[in-house]
Amino acid sequence: MHKLRTPKSLPGPELGLPGLGFQAWYEARHGAAAYDALDRIPRLDWAAYLDWYRKVTGGAVRYGTRLVRIEPADGHLRLHLERNGAAVIESTRKLVLATGFAGSGGASVPEVLQELPKRFYAHTSEAIDFRSLRGRSIAVIGSAASAFDAAAVALEAGARDVHLFARRETLASLPVIRIRGYPGAY
């Protein structure tokens, strides 16, 4: 996926401050005409923007950190962390769990595929060597955004054709995250 699937106009982490938004960041680097020409935000530009945002706001990002346990402690939460192999305890009044795909229990592979040798299938949560699909006919099982992303990338990489299979008779018209109502999350 080379671009985010969300519209470029959705609010992000800028907290209502236009100068902290993606548009201001992008225009400062590439000009207003370049921003106007964008249909969707390129993925690598979004990563660079988030890195800039972190530096400008002084936000603490701790890579290599795993949350092991949460315990209530007299009006706050005590977080038991593992940071680069060492146990660390921190306290907070509020905690936001942004667990991503892994937080939903991980990949769901249909039982009928689980017995196949791994070389015959992949899940979109894994790194997929799309170049190895060049000239081949591919089946994609699923109808969520990641299924369409995988189908598109397979075709871009030279797959002969891609067949999408879904249980539903119609495609979902709204992503679940949009229904939740926080546009910055989408």
CA distance 14 to 83: 28
Domain shared by 73 and 56, yes or no: no
Domain shared by 52 and 20, yes or no: yes
CATH number of residue 137's parent domain: 3.50.50.60
In a domain, residue 175? The reply is no
In a domain, residue 75? The reply is yes
Residues with Cβ < 8 Å from 82, sequence gap 6 or more?
A: 65, 66, 68, 88
In a domain, residue 178? The reply is no
pLDDT at 134 over 90: yes
Query: Which is nearest to 92 in space by CA: 80, 108, 104?
Result: 80
Q: Which amino acid is at 28?
A: A
CA distance 81 to 132: 39
Domain shared by 7 and 57, yes or no: yes
Alpha helix (H) residue ranges in 32-167: 32-37, 43-57, 111-114, 145-156
Mean pLDDT in the chain?
86
pLDDT at 26 over 60: yes
Domain shared by 137 and 150, yes or no: yes
Note down the domain range covering 19: 3-61
In a domain, residue 32? The reply is yes
In a domain, residue 185? The reply is no
Domain shared by 84 and 51, yes or no: no
pLDDT for position 1 = 67
Q: Which long-range contacts (CB under 8 A, 24 or more apart) does 20-23 make?
A: 20/53, 20/56, 20/57, 22/46, 22/49
pLDDT for position 179 = 45
How many domains in the chain? 3
Domain shared by 49 and 14, yes or no: yes
pLDDT at 178 over 60: no
Share of the chain above pLDDT 70, in %: 88
Domain shared by 42 and 7, yes or no: yes
pLDDT for position 185 = 46
* 75-112 pLDDT per residue, tens: 999 999 999 999 999 999 998 877 665 556 667 788 88
* 140-174 pLDDT per residue, tens: 998 888 888 899 999 999 999 999 998 888 877 66
pLDDT for position 68 = 94
Q: How far is CA 121 from the centre of its chain?
A: 21
Q: Which of 21-25, 72-76, 109-113 has the lowest mean pLDDT?
A: 109-113
Domain shared by 89 and 131, yes or no: no
In a domain, residue 173? The reply is no
Domain shared by 117 and 143, yes or no: yes
pLDDT at 124 over 70: yes
pLDDT for position 186 = 42
